[in-house]
Amino acid sequence: MNIIYVLDRLILKPVKITCKQPVDLPPKSRVIYLDEENKEAAGTILGYETSCNKTGTFARQIMGKDLDTFMGYQDKAIQLYDLFAEKFTAEFTEAVPLTARMNSMGNQVYFYFFAETRFQFGEFVKSFRQQI
């Protein structure tokens, strides 16, 4: 078994990926791997060894048309981020919106923010979901 290390696209943590065959991809290559629950996840090859709490199995490299689709999802997430930042900042004034990412299948958007306090998101999420 060969091992590569990737930075997971959504949780932004390193993942130790096992590969049945040698994978000779340069750092910063985007790949799809199967996580512990056998769900597809996307990551970027780190190119160095690091400690990891999460493991997975290599599925394939993201390239060609798949890479174009993947990057299109990211563009859409960034467009949605502008609306999110405006609405979220109005609702939670002490929070700082950071960025947005879409999963590799294009059916979930993740919005990242920084705050030192806790929030009740229920009503905001319902309202925001209807707007997008």
Tokens 């394939």: give the residue. 60
Q: What 8-state DSSP symbol labels residue 1?
A: -
pLDDT in tens, 80-123: 999 999 999 999 999 999 999 998 788 889 999 999 988 888 89
Q: Does the pLDDT at position 1 exceed 90?
A: no
Selected residue with higher pLDDT from 105 and 69: 69
Write down which residue in 46, 62, 78 finishes a domain. 62
Whether 21 and 58 share a structural domain: yes
Whether 45 and 84 share a structural domain: no
Predicted TM-score (pTM) of the model is: 0.75
Write down which residue in 12, 39, 62 finishes a domain. 62
Instruction: Report d(CA 89, CA 84) in Å as an integer.
Output: 8
Whether 7 and 39 share a structural domain: yes
Whether 106 and 84 share a structural domain: yes
At 116 the pLDDT is 92
How many Å from the N-terminal Cα to the C-terminal Cα in the chain?
44
> What is the pLDDT confidence band of residue 8, given thresholds at 50, 70 and 90?
very high
Q: Does the pLDDT at position 21 exceed 90?
A: no
At 106 the pLDDT is 82
**Which whole-number Å values give the CA distances from 70 to 31, 61, 64, 104, in the listed order?**
11, 12, 10, 6
Q: At 105, list the tokens.
A: 């299948």
Whether 44 and 80 share a structural domain: no
Whether 101 and 55 share a structural domain: no
Residues 14-19: what's their mean pLDDT?
95
User: For the ranges 29-33, 66-70, 88-92, which has the lowest average pLDDT?
Assistant: 66-70
Tell me the residue ranges of DSSP E strands in the chain.
2-8, 14-19, 30-34, 40-45, 54-61, 96-102, 109-114
Residues 60-79: what's their mean pLDDT?
91
* Domain extent for 34: 2-62
At 121 the pLDDT is 86
Those residues with Cβ within 8 angstroms of residue 118's Cβ, 6 or more apart along the chain or in another chain: none
Whether 81 and 120 share a structural domain: yes
Whether 28 and 74 share a structural domain: no
The answer to whether 52 and 79 have CB atoms below 8 angstroms apart is: no
Q: How many domains does the chain have?
A: 2
Whether 70 and 127 share a structural domain: yes
Whether 110 and 93 share a structural domain: yes
Q: What 8-state DSSP symbol labels residue 99?
A: E
